[in-house]
Structure 1
Amino acid sequence: MDRRQLLQTTLYSTLLSGLGACASNNKALVETSGTTPAWPTHIQKIAFGSCINQNKEQPIWQAVLANRPDLFIFGGDTVYADSQPWLLANLEQAYATQAAQPGFAQLRKTIPHMAIWDDNDMGLNDGGAEFQHKEASKKAFLDFWRLPANDPRRSREGLYHAVSFGNAGQRVQVILLDTRSFRSALRRTDQRDAPGKERYVPDADPAKTMLGEVQWQWLTAQLQTPADLRLIVSGVQVVVEGHGWEGWHNLPLEQEKLRQVIRRTGAKGVVLLSGDRHIGAVYKSPSADLYPLYEFTSSGMTHAWQTAKEAGPNRLGELVTQNHFAMIELDWQQRQIQWGFKNTQDQWLQQGRIALAELE
Structure 2
Amino acid sequence: MFGSCWKPGASGDQALDRIVELSPDMFLWLGDNIYGDTTDMTAMRASYESKKQTASYERFLRAEIPVLATWDDHDYGENNQGRYYTRRAESQQEFARHFDLPADDPRRRHQEGVYNARLFPARNGSASVHVILLDGRYHRSPTFNQYGACEGNASSFLGSEQWDWLMRELRRPADIKIIASGIQVLPPLHGKRALKDYCAYADGREFQRAIAALEETDLSGTEYESWAEFPLERERLLRAVQASVNAGNAKQVIFVSGDQHWAEIMRKDIPATDNQAPVTVYEVTASGFNQNWPYEVPDPNRLP
Scaled to the shorter chain, the TM-score interval is 0.7 to 0.9
Q: SS where residue 155 of structure 2 aligns?
A: coil
How many angstroms does 1:102 deviate by?
Answer: 2.2
- The percent of aligned pairs where both chains have the same amino acid is 33
Q: SS where residue 233 of structure 1 aligns?
A: strand
Say whether residues 1:115 and 2:115 are aligned partners: no
Say whether residues 1:184 and 2:141 are aligned partners: yes
Instruction: Find the counterpart in structure 2 of residue 356 from structure 1.
Output: none
Return the alpha-carbon distance in structure 1 between the equivalents of residues 288 and 279 of structure 2. Answer: 29
- What amino acid maps onto 1:115 in structure 2? A
RMSD: 1.9
Instruction: Find the counterpart in structure 2 of residue 103 from structure 1.
Output: 56
How many angstroms does 1:55 deviate by?
Answer: 6.2
Say whether residues 1:246 and 2:225 are aligned partners: yes
- What amino acid maps onto 1:213 in structure 2? S
Q: SS where residue 130 of structure 2 aligns?
A: strand
Return the alpha-carbon distance in structure 2 between the equivalents of residues 167 and 294 of structure 1. Answer: 22
How many angstroms does 1:188 deviate by?
Answer: 6.3
Instruction: Find the counterpart in structure 1 of residue 21 from structure 2.
Output: 66
1:151-162 mapped onto 2 (5 Å cutoff): 151-154=105-108, 155-162=110-117
Return the alpha-carbon distance in structure 1 between the equivalents of residues 297 and 127 of structure 2. Answer: 37
Say whether residues 1:48 and 2:48 are aligned partners: no
Identify which of 285, 299, 303 aligns with 2:291: 303
How many angstroms does 1:104 deviate by?
Answer: 1.8
Instruction: Find the counterpart in structure 2 of residue 210 from structure 1.
Output: 157
Equivalent pair of 1:281/1:298 in contact (CA under 8 Å):
yes
Q: SS where residue 137 of structure 1 aligns?
A: helix
1:312-342 Cα deviation digits (max 9, x unpaired): 211012xxxxxxxxxxxxxxxxxxxxxxxxx
Return the alpha-carbon distance in structure 2 between the equivalents of residues 225 and 106 of structure 1. Answer: 35
**Unaligned segments of structure 1, at least 5 residues:** 1-46, 190-202, 318-360
- What amino acid maps onto 1:298 in structure 2? A
Instruction: Find the counterpart in structure 2 of residue 276 from structure 1.
Output: 259
Return the alpha-carbon distance in structure 2 between the equivalents of residues 204 and 118 of structure 1. Answer: 21
Return the alpha-carbon distance in structure 2 between the equivalents of residues 282 and 53 of structure 1. Answer: 23
Say whether residues 1:314 and 2:301 are aligned partners: yes
Q: How many residue pairs end up in the alignment?
A: 255
Instruction: Find the counterpart in structure 2 of residue 234 from structure 1.
Output: 181
How many angstroms does 1:263 deviate by?
Answer: 2.4
1:74-128 Cα deviation digits (max 9, x unpaired): 0001100104xx2111111111110012222222332111111100001110010
- What amino acid maps onto 1:296 in structure 2? V
Q: SS where residue 315 of structure 1 aligns?
A: coil
- What amino acid maps onto 1:220 in structure 2? M
| TM score, norm. by length of structure 2 | 0.80
Return the alpha-carbon distance in structure 2 between the equivalents of residues 49 and 74 of structure 1. Answer: 6
- What amino acid maps onto 2:302 in structure 1? R
Return the alpha-carbon distance in structure 2 between the equivalents of residues 285 and 270 of structure 1. Answer: 11
Equivalent pair of 2:17/2:59 in contact (CA under 8 Å):
no
- When residues 93 and 113 of structure 1 are mapped into structure 2, their CA distance, relative to the original with a 3 A threshold, is same
Return the alpha-carbon distance in structure 1 between the equivalents of residues 288 and 74 of structure 2. Answer: 13
Q: SS where residue 59 of structure 1 aligns?
A: helix
Return the alpha-carbon distance in structure 2 between the equivalents of residues 49 and 127 of structure 1. Answer: 21
Return the alpha-carbon distance in structure 1 between the equivalents of residues 144 and 88 of structure 2. Answer: 21
Return the alpha-carbon distance in structure 1 between the equivalents of residues 151 and 82 of structure 2. Answer: 17
**Unaligned segments of structure 2, at least 5 residues:** 189-220, 273-277
Equivalent pair of 1:204/1:251 in contact (CA under 8 Å):
no
| TM score, norm. by length of structure 1 | 0.68
Equivalent pair of 2:222/2:297 in contact (CA under 8 Å):
yes
Instruction: Find the counterpart in structure 2 of residue 174 from structure 1.
Output: 131
Instruction: Find the counterpart in structure 2 of residue 288 from structure 1.
Output: 271
